[in-house]
Amino acid sequence: MALSGSSARRYAEALYQIALSENAVPAFGASLDGLRRAFTPEVLRSLRNPGVPLRARRAGLDAATAAEPKAIRSLLGLLLERERIALFPQVADAYAELVERRAGIVKGRVTTATQLSANEREDLVRRLERSSGKKIRATFAVDESLIGGAMIQVGDRLIDSSLKAQLDELRRELAS
């Protein structure tokens, strides 16, 4: 999956460079993750409310984020002043994706016809990592219409070994 929107990605990349220079990549990630959870849609609406003077919104933001790293507080202040604070969750997501990508971790999505046990999931992820040569952070879903087998997406590569896909292929071959 691609990183979030280009503006969010640019902010995330700048923040990542600062984190690298300060040797604080994990600390910034933890801070952004915590703030992303704290900045609910209601909080973001409050910070965007033009009925409240910018000075008051800035004071509230500064008080709420006083314990956060300076670079993150500066980013939040910049987003607030530029009326782009609603972009913050996307920036936090883009930062997390950037850190994972730089660490060689790719996202995977496994869709099966039936629920897999924890052991089956772990085994499948291990096999995917071995075959791809990459660390994979997988999510799992169930789609009964697959009938059997699985659809596996790792990065931008899709492998459809579902019974439904095989039956569709057979139907096309017989029809031609």
DSSP for 20-70, written as a single string: HHTT-HHHHHHHHHHHHHHS-HHHHHHHH-TTS-HHHHHHHHHHHTTTS-H
| 96 and 88 Cβ atoms separated by less than 8 Å | no
- Residue 133 vs residue 143, higher pLDDT: 143
What backbone phi and psi angles, to 5 degrees, belong to 142? -120, 130
Q: What is the pLDDT of residue 176?
A: 81
The pTM of the whole model exceeds 0.85: no
Within 10 A of 61 (CB to CB), how many other CB atoms are there? Answer: 20
Integer angstrom CA distances of residue 26 from 1, 33, 93: 22, 10, 14
pLDDT at 69 over 50: yes
| 47 and 85 Cβ atoms separated by less than 8 Å | yes
Q: Specify the 3-state DSSP secondary structure of 156.
A: coil
**Percent above pLDDT 70 for the chain:** 97
Q: What is the pLDDT of residues 49-62, one digit of tens each?
A: 999 999 999 999 99
100 burial (CB, 10 Å; 0-12 / 13-18 / 19+) is middle
Which token pair is 57?
Answer: 């919104």
Mean pLDDT, residues 27-32 taken together: 97
Confidence class of residue 5 from pLDDT cuts 50, 70 and 90? low
DSSP letter (8 states) at residue 5: -
For the chain, how far is it from start to end, CA to CA, in angstroms?
35
